[in-house]
């Protein structure tokens, strides 16, 4: 036990006191990485930063473990538990990596510069500037899709960033406390306690499940008066929720929601949002369509991804991107079509796979391998040049043979490093929490579906998410949040 404690203490010491870092080197190429999400951070983790002058640019100076973000909306998990400071990641690297907290507003691919802007509250004398690059990796993700539907941006909450989760958490409690206001009318109480989620993808489903858990575990115990009126509704335009899962898992989710008393409204497409109600087009069983008004207190909008303006702008500069709509078209090495020195990873790149954290993470790791190999290849090629000039100058046969052997060895190395194949995604499975301590999982290596509830699945999804957490620090914090909520309940302050 003493040995184990010693080893742990030493590893924490080592993490906090990384080796000295080299300064940027003018003879090296500048590699600019945009974003601090799943794609960019998994690239950074595996990148040998001593090969390039690496610059990271992102408006967020932390990595966010998004799979647990729905739990932050109810206070089950505190948001800081799933954030990892990017500075923490960068100081583990051998060579210095520069970080600028800024938004990339424009990429000029011909001039090879990124325009950046400081969008934080405090601004210095300089808040707009340019960063030149030799190589660029775009990992800026996507923004929330609203399909231009009136009122969505003004009145609904999204669920992508930490601030979104904080807004939702505040808004839930604001609705509850306002509903409890003295002399509130019954209709208004009903409206305020109606929590509407639009979008039946995994984001919407997981949030609806977490919210209903919050009500069952805590809210109705602290504030029993809301019992009869608190209601969660999930609205989906298609005939069923979670279309990416199998029929069996969809049925299981739908029947669990029924038990939990979450209403699912499928074939209901939201067309307009006001501050108090949504207007939706409902397809009736006979195929006819009708318009319906649904009052709400909280509206969470989870209808998937849209292309960010900076990405759309780059696409408009490249004729090769003319036919691409959903994001940057890339080749099998993740090179942005129409460029040679720009790569894209994660939700801003269009591949054959769904825009998930798992795909982005694997793309980032692949790119790290590719960039490490490219640097190694360059180094070997330089050595080969030196060796061949040495060979021509060699005086004796012995010398010539030695150089010849070395050249052969370098050529072998070169062939080996150049063997890196195209990016291939290996699907480890999909997992979604559906509330009531139940999860649905489609685990490909088991070649089957797991749709179950009860302690086992609950422990399985929790341990899976825990093991995927970014750092041991995050793992400890998340586990403590879970224990805290079990013991004392969630915090219902606004």
Query: Quick one: which of 85, 295, 304, 489 contacts ligand NAD (CB under 6 A)?
Result: 304
Number of residues that bind ligand NAD (CB under 6 A): 26
Q: Under the criterion CB under 6 A, does residue 237 sit at the interface with ligand NAD?
A: yes
Vertex 183 angle, CA 180 and 189, to 5°: 50
Per CB under 6 A, the segment of 35-43, 78-86, 231-239, 416-424 that binds ligand NAD is 231-239
Strands 268-273 and 263-265: unpaired
The residue within the footprint of ligand NAD, chosen from 8, 12, 238, 459 (CB under 6 A), is 238
Q: Is the backbone of residue 438 left (phi > 0), alpha (psi -120 to 50) or beta?
A: beta
Distance of CA 296 to the CA centre of its chain: 28
Q: Are strands 231-235 and 194-198 parallel, antiparallel or unpaired?
A: parallel
Closer to ligand NAD by CB, 305 or 377: give it.
Answer: 305
Helix axes 472-488, 454-468, angle to 10 degrees: 140
Which CB sits closer to ligand NAD, 202 or 327?
202
- Does residue 235 bind ligand NAD (CB under 6 A)? yes
Binders in 187-216 for ligand NAD, by CB under 6 A: 198-204, 206
Answer yes or no whether residue 303 interacts with ligand NAD by CB under 6 A.
Answer: yes
- DSSP 8-state symbol, 24: P
Site for ligand NAD in 338-367 (CB under 6 A): 354-356
The sheet with strand 277-283 has its strands ordered as: 268-273, 277-283, 289-295
| DSSP assignment letter at 469 | S
**Which of residues 64, 300, 431, 477 is near ligand NAD by CB under 6 A?**
431
335 touches 343 (CB < 8 A): yes
Q: Among 124-132, 288-296, 328-336, 425-433, which window interacts with ligand NAD (CB under 6 A)?
A: 425-433
Tokens linked to 374: 């490219």
Contact 321, 337 (CB under 8 A): yes
- What is the number of alpha carbons within 13 Å of residue 38 lying toward its C-beta? 22
Residue 238 CB, nearest approach to ligand NAD (Å): 4
Residue 457 as a binder of ligand NAD (CB under 6 A): the answer is no
* 270, 344, 370, 469: which one binds ligand NAD (CB under 6 A): 270
| Residue 69 or 172 having the CB closest to ligand NAD | 69
**Residue 37 sits in the site that holds ligand NAD (CB under 6 A):** no
Question: Among residues 74, 299, 70, 296, which one has the least CA distance to residue 203?
Answer: 70
Report the interface residues with ligand NAD, using CB under 6 A: 198-204, 206, 235-238, 243-244, 269-270, 302-305, 354-356, 430-432
């Amino acid at each position: 036990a003493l040995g184990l404690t010693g080893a742990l203490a030493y590893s924490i010491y080592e993490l906090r006191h990384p080796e000295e870092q080299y300064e940027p080197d003018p003879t090296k190429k500048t590699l600019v990485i945009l974003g601090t999400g799943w794609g960019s951070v998994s690239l950074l983790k595996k990148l040998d930063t001593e090969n390039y002058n690496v610059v990271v640019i992102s408006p967020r100076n932390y990595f966010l473990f998004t799979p647990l973000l729905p739990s932050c909306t109810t206070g089950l998990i505190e948001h800081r538990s799933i954030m990892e400071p990017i500075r923490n990641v960068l100081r583990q690297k051998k060579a210095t990596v520069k970080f600028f907290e800024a938004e990339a507003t424009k990429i000029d691919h011909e001039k090879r510069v990124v325009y950046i802007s400081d969008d934080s509250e405090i601004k210095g004398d300089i808040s707009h500037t340019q960063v030149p690059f030799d190589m660029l990796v775009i990992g800026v993700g996507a923004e929330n899709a609203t399909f231009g539907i009136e009122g969505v941006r003004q009145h609904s909450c999204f669920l992508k960033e930490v601030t979104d989760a904080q807004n939702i958490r505040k808004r839930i409690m604001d609705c509850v406390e306002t509903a409890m206001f003295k002399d509130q009318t019954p209709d208004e109480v009903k409206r305020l306690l109606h929590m509407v989620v639009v979008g039946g993808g995994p984001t919407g489903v997981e949030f609806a499940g977490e919210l209903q858990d919050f009500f069952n575990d805590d809210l109705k115990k602290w504030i029993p008066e809301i019992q009869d009126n608190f209601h969660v509704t999930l609205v989906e335009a298609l005939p069923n929720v979670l279309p990416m899962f199998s029929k069996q898992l969809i049925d299981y989710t739908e029947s669990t929601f029924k038990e939990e008393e979450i209403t699912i409204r499928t074939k209901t497409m939201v067309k307009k949002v006001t501050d108090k109600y949504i207007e939706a087009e409902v397809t009736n069983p006979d195929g006819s369509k009708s318009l319906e008004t649904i009052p709400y207190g909280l509206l969470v909008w989870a209808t998937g991804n849209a292309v960010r303006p900076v990405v759309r702008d780059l696409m408009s500069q490249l004729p090769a991107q003319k036919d691409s709509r959903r994001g940057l078209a890339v080749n099998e090495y993740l090179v942005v079509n129409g460029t040679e020195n720009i790569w894209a990873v994660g939700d801003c790149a269009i591949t054959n796979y769904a825009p998930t954290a798992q795909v982005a993470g694997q793309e980032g790791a692949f790119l790290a391998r590719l960039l490490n190999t490219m640097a190694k290849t360059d180094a070997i090629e330089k050595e080969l040049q030196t060796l061949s000039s040495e060979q021509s100058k060699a005086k004796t046969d012995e010398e010539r043979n030695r150089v010849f052997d070395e050249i052969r060895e370098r050529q072998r190395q070169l062939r080996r490093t150049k063997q890196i194949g195209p990016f291939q995604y290996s699907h480890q499975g999909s997992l979604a929490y559906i509330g009531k301590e139940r999860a649905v999982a489609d685990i490909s290596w088991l070649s089957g579906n797991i749709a179950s509830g009860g302690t086992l699945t609950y422990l399985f999804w929790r341990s899976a998410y825990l093991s995927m957490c970014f750092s041991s620090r995050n793992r400890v914090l998340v586990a403590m949040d879970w224990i805290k909520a079990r013991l004392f309940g969630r915090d219902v302050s606004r």
